[in-house]
């Protein structure tokens, strides 16, 4: 298990570890499936963000993310940042703000959401957009 806050800032290396490609900026989550779908990183402050599909991540650990060769993506989903996102139920009831997310670094499965109002099971996520993370009430 790893936390999103542990991943942010990790070096991104080529799969063989020979080249440093940048540093992780965020992880994109597909809320309905409850999995990490993309890893996002920058090579420098003035460089654009590179987005890789999760299946291009060869390994992810406390020291670095190792990734397959970077190729231009066909269709990149919007990158809604989950950390700091407001949490609402399907009925529109405020359920706090996301502080951190636990996930399995091997398969990208989200395990739990840690919010300002306590822990939420990942299987309650239904959608993530510009305004909020939407969760089922039970």
Does residue 77 sit within a domain? no
- Per-residue model confidence as pLDDT tens digits over 25-66: 999 999 999 999 999 999 877 677 888 999 999 999 989 999
Number of domains in the chain: 2
Element (H, E) at 59: strand 57-60
The range of the structural domain enclosing residue 92 comes to 86-135
Structure confidence at residue 48 (pLDDT): 78
Q: Looking at the structure, tell me whether residues 16 and 55 fall in a common domain.
A: yes
For the stretch 67-104, pLDDT in tens is: 998 776 655 666 788 999 999 999 999 999 999 999 99
Both 6 and 58 in one domain: the answer is yes
pTM: 0.89
Residues 19 and 58 in one domain: yes
User: What's the Cα-to-Cα distance from 55 to each of 29, 34, 35, 36, 39, rounded to whole Å?
Assistant: 13, 15, 11, 10, 10
């Amino acid at each position: 298990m790893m936390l999103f806050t542990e991943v942010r800032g990790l070096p991104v290396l080529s799969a063989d570890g020979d080249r440093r490609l940048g540093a992780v900026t965020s992880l994109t989550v597909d809320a309905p499936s409850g999995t990490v779908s993309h890893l996002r990183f920058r090579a420098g402050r003035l460089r654009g963000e590179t987005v890789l599909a999760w299946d291009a991540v060869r390994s992810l650990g406390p020291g670095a993310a190792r990734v397959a060769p970077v190729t231009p993506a066909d269709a990149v989903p919007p990158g809604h940042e989950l950390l700091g996102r407001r949490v609402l139920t399907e009925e529109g009831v405020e359920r706090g703000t996301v502080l951190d997310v636990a996930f399995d670094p091997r398969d990208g499965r989200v395990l739990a959401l840690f919010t300002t109002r306590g822990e939420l099971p990942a299987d309650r996520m239904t959608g993530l957009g510009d305004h909020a993370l939407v969760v089922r009430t039970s």
